[in-house]
Each structure stands twice: as C-alpha cells, then as structure tokens.
C-alpha cells in the first residue's frame, strides 16, 4: 500500500514532464544550468585567473575599469577581472550550497525520522533539541560558529549545515509520525518486519518527494547565508572568490563603480530565485493536493 506521493515518486518521467510544462520552473532550470556551466567551465571561459592583478586593469587615477573591451564586467579595486571572479565565485556558491544543504538534509532527515517513528522519550528529547535550535536566529548562530573556527570553504559549509537542518527535521518528523500510524505500517509490524525494514523500505520512500523539495529550496537559503557570512567577513576568505566577499571587498566603490556590487548581487539573487522557482514547482508536481494549481 502506497500513498499518492509515493506513486508519483515512482514515476520520475511523469513528474519531469509536468515540471517542464511550468514556464517559471523551466526559467529556473535554465538559470541554474547557466550558472553551473559557468562554474564548471570557468577555466575555459575566464580570460584571466581570478586573482591576477592586471597592470591595465585600473584607470590612470587608480580606479577600477568599467565594463567593456577585455573586461566584459569591468575590474575590481585591485585590477582583477570581475567576470573571472564571478565565474569562480559561482563554484564557491554551488559547492557550499550543495554540500551544506546535503549535510543539513541528512541531519534533519535522521533526526526527524527517528523522532517521528520511535516517539516517546526519544522523540521528545530530539524535538525539544530541535525547538531549542530553532529558537536561535540562524544567522547569529552561524556567525558565532564561523568566528570560533578558522573560516574556509568546508568549514563554512559545515557551519551552514549545523544551523539549517532544523526545518527539515520538523517537516520529516510530522510526516513520519503520520506514516507510522498508517495501516500498512501496522500490517508490517504484525508480519514481524524489523525496524530497519519498516524505516528504509516503507517510510523513507514516502519521504523522498519531501526531501527533494526541501533539498531544492534549501540550496537557495544556503547560497544566501553563505553570501551573507562572506560579506560580513566570517565566510569564505579572500583570495578565494565568493559572490559575498566580492561585494564586501568592493563596497567602498559602490557610488563610483556600482557594477562591482550590482553584478555579484544580481548573481546571488538570480541563483536563489532559480532554486526557489524549481523547488516550488517540484512541490506542486510531487504533491497531488497541489495538482492543477499554478
């Protein structure tokens, strides 16, 4: 016995076809594909290394060069090609987004499914700990953790994961609690199925659509959080390019060279928007109660 969501999860081709029928989702997928292609092929697309300080990258007055010519997005305060730094910064955002969100999904799923299935004192302890974590502002907690450790790409990803798993845990807990009370789970217990079989063969498959949706939506959150931490100086550290630290390094040139802030800012917004559009569409496609809307 399976739910409607479980049936949809077993038909990926049908779900993909419905996803591609949504214009906003297709727009989001195109944006993600463009950013991903830029990140993967950055060495081929970039005319200069991201940290190369070009002698002709500054004006006579020592100001950044505006977009044009050899520098399609201009240069920064050190004469570095902004286009190259944006491409390599996309790598940073995508790596942290995928790694941090993957860890957050893993932690949240383990906590939620354990608390929802066993309940009792185990569920109470895990959910009270989750509530405690939710009580702290995620950004403030991330800043504190990042300040304690030496910031690096992988440390930032770990910090973001440690403050981002609680929402997933709450959602997975609610769905697991509902599934654990279904008749087909009771039947499995009656037939002598073990806990592992019930969790991994019968409950987890029904949670996959939810995990996919939250995973997609969560990447936009982690991208924004990484950019915020880098902008505040406790995220990815220079000279490693990150869209957040590009804005941080060039904020003093906001009035005289606005492209140094607008371009990476627009990149952050568009990537976060893309994952939100795809995540919203996946939620509608995989949830039969949303079928026919939007």
194-201 — which CB contacts under 8 Å span 24+ positions? Answer: 195/117, 198/117, 199/113, 199/117
Domain assignments of the chain as residue spans, ordered by start: 4-46+78-290
Query: How many CA atoms lie less than 13 Å away from 173 in the CB half-sphere?
Result: 23
Cis-peptide, bond into residue 239, ω within 30° of zero: yes
How many CB atoms within 10 Å of residue 165? Answer: 26
**Stretch 84-97: mean pLDDT, rounded?**
92
Q: CA-CA-CA-CA torsion for 267, 270, 271, 273, nearest 10 degrees?
A: 160
Global pTM reads: 0.84
What's residue 100's pLDDT? 93
Rounded Cα gap, residues 179 and 202, in angstroms: 9
Residue 2: pLDDT band with limits 50, 70, 90: very low
Provide CATH code, domain 4-46+78-290: 1.10.3720.10
What's residue 40's pLDDT? 93
Mean pLDDT of the chain: 85
| First-to-last C-alpha distance (Å) of the chain | 29
Rounded Cα gap, residues 119 and 181, in angstroms: 12
| H or E element that contains 195 | helix 195-197
Residue 260 has pLDDT above 50, yes or no: yes
Residue 12 has pLDDT above 70, yes or no: no
Residue 19 has pLDDT above 50, yes or no: yes
Asked which of 18-32, 137-151, 166-180, 262-276 is least confident by mean pLDDT, the reply is: 137-151
What's residue 7's pLDDT? 41
């Amino acid at each position: 016995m399976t739910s409607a969501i479980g049936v949809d999860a077993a038909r990926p081709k049908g779900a993909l076809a419905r996803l591609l029928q949504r214009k906003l989702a297709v727009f989001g997928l195109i944006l993600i594909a463009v950013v991903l292609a830029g990140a993967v092929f950055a060495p081929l697309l970039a005319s200069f290394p991201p940290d190369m300080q070009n002698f002709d990258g500054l004006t006579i007055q020592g100001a950044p060069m505006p977009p044009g010519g050899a520098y399609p997005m201009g240069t920064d305060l050190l004469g570095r090609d902004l286009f190259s730094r944006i491409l390599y910064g996309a790598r940073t955002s995508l790596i942290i987004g995928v790694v941090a969100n993957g860890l957050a999904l893993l932690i949240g799923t383990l906590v939620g499914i354990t608390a929802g299935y066993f309940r009792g004192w185990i569920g109470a302890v895990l959910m009270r700990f989750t509530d405690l974590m939710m009580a702290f502002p995620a950004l403030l907690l991330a800043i504190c953790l990042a300040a304690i450790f030496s910031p690096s790409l992988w440390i930032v990803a770990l910090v973001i994961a440690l403050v981002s798993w609680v929402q997933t845990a709450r959602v997975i807990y609610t769905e697991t609690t509902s599934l654990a009370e279904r008749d087909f789970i009771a039947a499995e217990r009656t037939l002598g199925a073990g806990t592992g079989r019930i969790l991994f063969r019968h409950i987890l498959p029904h949670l996959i659509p939810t995990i996919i949706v939250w995973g997609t939506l969560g990447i936009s959150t982690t991208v924004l959080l990484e950019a915020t931490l880098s902008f505040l100086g406790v995220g990815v550290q220079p000279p490693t390019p990150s869209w957040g630290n590009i804005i941080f390094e060039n904020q003093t040139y906001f009035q005289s060279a606005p492209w140094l802030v607008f371009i990476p800012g627009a990149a952050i917004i568009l990537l976060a928007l893309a994952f939100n559009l795809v995540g919203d569409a996946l939620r509608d496609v995989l949830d039969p109660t949303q079928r026919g809307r939007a």
